Amino acid sequence: MQNNLPRPLGGIIVPLITPLVAQEMLDSEGLKKIVEYVLAGGVNGIFILGTTGEAPSLSGKVKRELIDQTCRVTNGRVPVIVGIMDTSITESVHLASYASEKGATAVVAVPPYYLPLSQSELVNYIRRLTDELPLPLFLYNQPEYTNVPINPDTLAQVADIPGLAGLKDTSRNMINFQQMCQLMKDREDFSLFVGPDGLMAEAVLMGGSGGVNAGANLAPKLYVELYHAARTGDMPTVRQLQSKVLQLITTVYHPSAGRLKTLKGLKCALATLGICKDIVADPLIGMDPDVRSHMPQFLSDLNLIE
């Protein structure tokens, strides 16, 4: 197994948006801009083909182009982590092999969806998948979309599998996350990240490794500074920066955008900054025009645009 992953991996890993110029057409120039933008903000890694990256809506062709170009633009400056979130182990392994060839550092998998697994079946799936992968694996606990949670007891059963590097938790169940932190407190080689933007500081204060936070696409420096404040226990700074994150969540992630408001809001905001277009992959529809018209003011209030 190829393993160039910093252990443990911590800090802010940005779940990168996938910039498009049209359906089935990757925006290569926009990708370069967003990669350089988040790296300048100090992020510790880039995660592509996740929820914010619209992975389920992209063709195999676009996925491979995104892997190739992201690895090339990043050029080893930070780890590139690739989502291989398929219901088929064979297809997940094929994409992982391609990512490995192109220079990716690790991969991410969710529990197979559509046909729900029991926790014992999930343990078996993780063992089988990890055994076939050419890169270290991060698990992704996203029960809202998969309907299969990764419980703390399940993590305890699989944590010693060679090649398993960590877990991203987007369940918003902070009791379970705290239990996971306790389970893994002596494992310096295992990373525990939280997904929801507003919970990153709390997770780090609990002993978590950092955040895989969508807002780092737009305000990477804000999330990096909040992470460091939480890591050092600087509570006045945590409170100050947390209020900015909450402001971003309540404006840029506008409720009118529906269930995938984070993704739509981010693409709209990044288009307003001139980084990429706000095209979302079919069958999604972009941000409501009324909200789009207010985006410059939202970004001005966040000191992201003059």
Helix (H/G/I), strand (E/B), else coil: 277? coil
Helix (H/G/I), strand (E/B), else coil: 150? coil
Please state, in angstroms and rounded to a whole number, the distance separating the CA atoms of residues 261 and 176.
Answer: 25
- Considering the domain boundaries, does residue 295 fall inside one? no
The contacts of residue 142 (CB under 8 Å, 6+ apart) are: 51, 110, 170, 171, 195
- Considering the domain boundaries, does residue 286 fall inside one? no
Rg of the chain in Å (alpha carbons): 18
Does 115 score more than 80 pLDDT? Answer: yes
- Considering the domain boundaries, does residue 165 fall inside one? yes
Helix (H/G/I), strand (E/B), else coil: 21? strand
The tokens describing 240, both together, are 């100050």
Mean pLDDT over residues 94-104, rounded? 98
CA distances from 109 to 127, 257, 266, 295 (A): 12, 26, 23, 33
Q: Are 92 and 55 in contact (CB under 8 A)?
A: no
Does 258 score more than 60 pLDDT? Answer: no
- How would you write 39-93 as a 3-class SS string? HHCCCCEEEECCCCCCHHHCCHHHHHHHHHHHHHHHCCCCCEEEECCCCCHHHHH
Domain at 215, CATH number? 3.20.20.70
pLDDT attached to residue 286: 85
- Considering the domain boundaries, does residue 153 fall inside one? yes
- Considering the domain boundaries, does residue 250 fall inside one? no
pLDDT attached to residue 287: 84
What is the domain extent for residue 200?
Answer: 11-234
**% of the chain at pLDDT higher than 70:** 98
pTM of the model: 0.95
- Considering the domain boundaries, does residue 131 fall inside one? yes
The backbone torsions φ and ψ at residue 21, rounded to the nearest 5 degrees and listed phi first, read -100, -20
Model confidence over 28-87: pLDDT tens digits?
999 999 999 999 999 999 999 999 999 999 999 999 999 999 999 999 999 999 999 999
Model confidence over 123-168: pLDDT tens digits?
999 999 999 999 999 999 999 999 999 999 999 999 999 999 999 9
The tokens describing 84, both together, are 């291989």
- Considering the domain boundaries, does residue 83 fall inside one? yes
- Residue 179 — pLDDT band, cuts 50, 70, 90? very high
| Overall number of domains in the chain | 1
With b meaning 16 or more CB within 10 Å and e meaning fewer, what string describes 104-134?
bbbbbbbbbbeeebeeeebbebbeebbeebb
Does 22 score more than 60 pLDDT? Answer: yes
- Considering the domain boundaries, does residue 274 fall inside one? no
The catalytic residue positions are 140, 168
